[in-house]
Chains A and B, each alone.
Chain A
């Protein structure tokens, strides 16, 4: 049981390059999320998907796009990377029940944009 997996773990881009961050979960959760984490800022929600086939903007969506490919996979795309997008990116899935509400995070992608 791998939980939430993310690829790549590290990436260096030049300004203007594009890339896609991949995320997959094997826990059959409906909800999936993309966050970025910057020093002193906490995790900020970029986009989320409440269920397969739906996506919604979070707090900081500008410069990003997402695709919920199926129930397992939720990818994040940077079309034209900027230095301000240097950050650690976490994908998460969420288990919500009558008494439980837990987010499970992937190991993160450390992205540097030069």
Chain B
């Protein structure tokens, strides 16, 4: 079983729509959680950290559910520029990072 699993999508949504997707992790001792964004043929970049109480960054909302071992990302009022692959990243107690394979989001005009 992969340490971090994501629905690969693609999620194809119109501009202005809300899109949400999850990521599950297998190690219950995981400590830190992140969402990275990767544009086509580019390097990943940190989008936001995910805190236990949930957090927002503009149109992006991240949630953590430790009991069910998943994190989520919600994008409100989608823009064309939100089209990308979103990588879920989990840190183990030894501080090693595990990456999901990514969820592809395409926002259409």
Task: Show the binding face of A for B, using Cβ within 8 Å.
Answer: 33, 35, 40-45, 48, 58, 90, 96, 100-103, 105-108
Contacts and interface: CB of A to CB of B under 8 A. Distances in A.
Interface string B32-75: 10101000011111100100000000000000000000000000
Contacts of A106: 43
Given A40-B101, A101-B91, A45 B43 contact: no
B9 to A, nearest CB: 12
Main secondary structure of the interface of B (DSSP, over half): strand
Nearest to B8: A40
B87 interface: yes
Main secondary structure of the interface of A (DSSP, over half): strand
B105 interface: no
Given A43-B44, A107-B42, A96 B101 contact: no
